[in-house]
Amino acid sequence: MTEWIISCEPKYYDVDRAFQFLDKIDWGQSSNICSGDLVYIYVNTPISAIKYMCIVNKVDLPVAEIDDREFFLDEADYHNYG
């Protein structure tokens, strides 16, 4: 198991609301994260803190499994997110 810190930009994605309503979230994979790893989510300004600890369930998804478009502040960002 490896631990990672990734960031979230609240001006694009409402991560607080997403975690209020969803048990699982698809997140763009940008490194060698593996199933079972721990990921800490650092929420950028104005929060500027690590707010969430998550366990990775799946990696290398060919398509998103969870529709969380309502938490993107601009739906175009949903379609551009990896």
- pLDDT (tens digit, 9 = 90+) per residue, 17-71? 999 999 999 988 877 999 999 999 999 999 999 999 999 999 998 888 988 889 9
The pLDDT value given to residue 81: 54
49 forms bridges with which residues in the sheet? 43
The pLDDT value given to residue 69: 86
Residue 77 has pLDDT above 60, yes or no: no
Scanning the structure block, which residue is given the tokens 């997110």? 81
**How many whole angstroms separate alpha carbon 44 and alpha carbon 34?**
24
Radius of gyration of the chain (CA): 12
List, in order, residues 6 or more apart from 34 with CB less than 8 Å away: 2, 56, 59
Scanning the structure block, which residue is given the tokens 């593996």? 34
